[in-house]
Structure 1
């Protein structure tokens, strides 16, 4: 596992207007190409097993259509799986204020907000008709303001980074996502700290969050599995700033 990136002390706020890096790394591009070839081979073999040419083409088209629908609705299904709901009127005004203020400071669109009525303190990001941040009710009731701010900043960074697309792909095609590198950790945390300018808040938030597991773990703030850098390494990287 790669270690945390070297960050100079006094790092400034990330330049969100600067040209963006490629959406995927070279290794990820190669992996996606291999995945595409694997799907093509599967479709070819499917066609060979069907004698009726018209039926074979229909099955192939249904497969492609179904895969597209699956990927296009992955965010919505992740929210449904977490039982995320819309905020009620005047519910958690602190969250709305923090998200709106940080999004304005960064010059990025304010995401839609969702609440997950769950005992474990954590947060999820995805795209479902636009960017979405979903936080658990326990996070809002047990985290301090600076800790909530750290989580929100982390989520905003992820929503506007190249890693979210790969995370959503990994959560949808989990059985094929093994070769992908960790998607959540060092870079997201450090860029978020550059926004809040308060490293202790991020360190405390990472340590207090209840780790998640399961299919949609790439979308969570803290989770078990290969897609997240271990929380001990994440906090150590911030302490080194």
Structure 2
């Protein structure tokens, strides 16, 4: 016990007379306690999580078909006296409305793709673009989209995605974007497009615009306007910009790209109220000229849209990015 106490409390003389112990003791460090892991706040749900509560035109077409079935069933019931025909025709009418909507949904991708006249390109045509695109797709987990280019000398990009998930997404770049942007700027620009593709909102936007374009004659203007405005949330644009910075891990690249877009112009051809929300930045100066240029079914579906879908100003998007 005495020896134990002496080891616990050695005198000053014993410390000085034992250089060996004095040299080895510093190596006998007590294990340091591991710092408690910092509490990480749970990530807030992005507006994309609200897709489950999205506004859809499908119930309207089911109701429209059911009403048609009621009308036809009522007439046949009065003529034949068979009341059993009424519920059958209501069900048939609702089913017909569903089929019509699904066919319009399936056609929406090709309809909205045809709105912009673009030439498909590959890696041989633009090796720098595809080098960046393939690298960013690998980082973001997005399949390499079909790429096209327009003859516009301005700086913008157009995106569509298949609501049924069968076809590859399409990204159309303006010729001006590929010509004036430096590599770092183009990287941020492409990442912003991929962030929109990955968000899950692009399918809904393509579907809604395509259905209104195809069946606009049968949709009340107020309902069509509500559907278009509901599928485009300006907060989604800000979220996509932030996610684009996460893809490149270099926000100054996207900032430089948007600064160049502001210095140049984002106004492009092939724009009307049904596809304005599918562009990366505001692609028009006024809708009046676009409405006059619309033709066929596109003209009738365009005129039912009384208000325009507005992009956030590039200055606002730049201010947010500079705060990162």
| 1:221 CA drift (Å) | 0.7
| Other-structure match for 2:176 | 138
| Other-structure match for 2:200 | 162
- Residues 82-91 or 135-144, more deviating: 82-91
Distance change >3 Å, CA 183–CA 73, structure 1 → 2 = farther
| Other-structure match for 1:221 | 280
**Alignment check: 8 A CA contact 1:167 1:183 kept:** no
**Alignment check: 8 A CA contact 1:171 1:219 kept:** no
- Residues 112-121 or 45-54, more deviating: 45-54
CA-to-aligned-CA distance 1:89-130 (integer Å, 9 cap, x gap): 721111111101111223332222122222332112222511
Distance change >3 Å, CA 75–CA 183, structure 1 → 2 = farther
| Other-structure match for 1:49 | 71
**Alignment check: 8 A CA contact 1:24 1:162 kept:** no
Distance change >3 Å, CA 76–CA 40, structure 1 → 2 = closer
| Other-structure match for 2:53 | 29
CA RMSD of aligned residues (A): 3.1
Higher relative contact order (CA 8 A, sep 6+): 1
Paired residue total: 220
- Which stretches in structure 2 are left out of the alignment for 5+ residues? 1-44, 77-84, 213-223, 284-307
CA-to-aligned-CA distance 1:6-37 (integer Å, 9 cap, x gap): xxxxxxxxxxxxxx9896507x61633xx444
Alpha-carbon distance in 2 for matches of 1:109, 1:211:
28
Alpha-carbon distance in 2 for matches of 1:192, 1:89:
22
Distance change >3 Å, CA 183–CA 55, structure 1 → 2 = farther
**Alignment check: 8 A CA contact 1:120 1:138 kept:** yes
| Other-structure match for 2:228 | 177
Alpha-carbon distance in 2 for matches of 1:238, 1:89:
30
Distance change >3 Å, CA 40–CA 88, structure 1 → 2 = closer
| Other-structure match for 2:17 | none
Q: 2:146 aligned with 1:120, yes or no?
A: no
Aligned with 2:60 (options 34, 38, 57): 38
- Which stretches in structure 1 are left out of the alignment for 5+ residues? 1-19
**Alignment check: 8 A CA contact 2:277 2:311 kept:** yes
| Other-structure match for 1:12 | none
**Alignment check: 8 A CA contact 1:151 1:221 kept:** no
| 1:153 CA drift (Å) | 0.6
Distance change >3 Å, CA 30–CA 119, structure 1 → 2 = closer
